[in-house]
Amino acid sequence: MRNPLFVATLCAAGLLGGAAAFGQAGTEDTGASAQAKYPLAPAAGVDSHARERSVRGAVNQGAFNEKTFKFGPRGDAPAGGSVIWNPVMVKMKAGQKVT
């Protein structure tokens, strides 16, 4: 690594590669076509009133209320029981001593 030209070339290549990888390559046409993929999203610049209204078919309707909130089925345990793979958790559930 004694050649400063090699190091400078390597740094320039890294910067150009990073700029190409993280650059936004979109136009207004691609943005408009992407809007059609999300039918529930409001149009650009329009307030969705998401704080006051719920999505159609949602379990919780109306404004958010922590007292009446109902969780969906994602929090339920899998059907048929599940195997606990953590040996410490198995000992704790059985009431054994964990050291």
What Rg value do the Cα atoms of the chain yield, rounded?
A: 27
Higher per-residue confidence, 62 vs 26: 62
Per the listing, tokens 């964990």 go with: 98
> 32-86, pLDDT tens digit by residue?
666 667 777 777 788 888 888 887 788 888 888 889 888 877 777 777 777 778 9
Measured between alpha carbons, how far is 27 from 87 in angstroms, rounded to an integer? 53
* Alpha-helical segments (H) within the chain: 4-22, 28-35, 87-94
Q: DSSP assignment, residue 74?
A: G
- Say what the pTM is: 0.31
